[in-house]
Amino acid sequence: MLSFGRFFSKQCIFKRCIFNRCMGIMAGTTLAMSAAADYSQHPLAAGFVDEMVQQHGFTAAEVNQLLSQAQKRQPILDAIARPAEKSKTWKEYRPIFIVPMRITNGVNFWNQHRNALARAEKEYGVPAEIIVSIIGVETNYGKNTGSWYVIDALSTLAFDYPPRAPFFRAELVNYLILTREQKHNPLEFKGSYAGAMGYGQFMPSSYRNFAVDFSGDGFTDIWNNPTDAIGSVANYFNKHGWQTGKAVVVPAKLTKARDTLLANESFNKVVPPSIKISEWKKAGVTPVAKVARTSPAIAIEFDGINGLEYWLGLQNFYTITRYNRSPMYAMAVYDLSLEIKQAMHNANKQTAGARH
């Protein structure tokens, strides 16, 4: 599951409404624009419709109707095709997320949803601070969930972005299925420019596989119901191998030349942990905190504020990377969770002291 942060402006949403209202009265140029935006007429649409009919029980009429209302969004194509910015170092990346306001908002979110977080921790074994941190990193606790229409985003990328069209086509399939399963209008939901949705930014396939109706109201609402979002994030982590009560990372130091370590093909690779701590120690990466020698881990190097730093990521670290493949993302989530937990502890301590 990936994070996406470029959102459609309110002005553009307003323009969508004006455009739709004008469709019936404008001629000539408007008809050409309409044809260009009508995905039911796209060369790849017939195959998609056949798939939805033959494999998923939709009617051709209903799929064509939805595709005819999905609009191509050039800004989405521009954003996803834009060359990646120069990679940030850890000392540049960390301050994006580990800031006082995000910590304060995390404490507030925890306090507001204390019961749901406690229940999720008990049922799924994922610490409350990790759940809060993920939601904080992804959407600033639901404040920035995205304002693109999901049907537009997924159709645009499924039909007009060849490099990843198969992925987004599958997500469009899942999106139409999930809206049918949940009995909701597929034209109404909004998300990121790549179709990630809700507090936790679930792609449609992740929604169908891992989202849960944690509030028990009959609708798995990750868009507007924090309780469902909390349960869904916890279930996602649980299903991706979170180990209850186990560490996430341990700090390490080098005991051999860095060049030797860089030559190790397993170093700095986010893969399922398979090399034991004892083996990493022999390779020159030695933990400086207590950890079982038999624990499998991945060895990571970060360019931090005080220079190069080394960490041994355990299974729980790898689990966080199932949300976003970047090791810096996983480390940011972990660091933010520690800050929120400490701030929560301090706030509870102050409250207890005031009572006495």
Positions annotated as catalytic residues are 138
Give me the residue label for tokens 């976003």.
324
Mapped onto helix, strand or coil, the DSSP state of residue 101 is helix
Q: In angstroms, rounded to a whole number, what is the distance separating the alpha carbons of residues 159 and 162?
A: 7
Contacts of 240 (CB under 8 A, 6+ apart): 319, 322
Q: Quote the tokens at residue 77.
A: 């194509």
Q: What angle, 0 to 180 degrees and rounded to 10, lies between the N-to-C axes of helices 128-139 and 327-355?
A: 120
Beta-strand runs (E) in the chain? 148-149, 190-191, 249-254, 275-276, 285-287, 296-304, 307-313
Q: Which residues contact 68 (CB under 8 A, 6 or more apart)?
A: 38, 39, 40, 41
DSSP-assigned states of every residue in 154-219: HHHHHHH-GGGHHHHHHHHHHHHHHHHHTT--TTT-EE-TT--BTTTTB-HHHHHHH---TT-SSS
User: Could you tell me the CA-to-CA distances from 123 to 117, 220, 237 in Å, in that order?
Assistant: 10, 17, 12
The 8-class DSSP code of residue 87 comes to: P
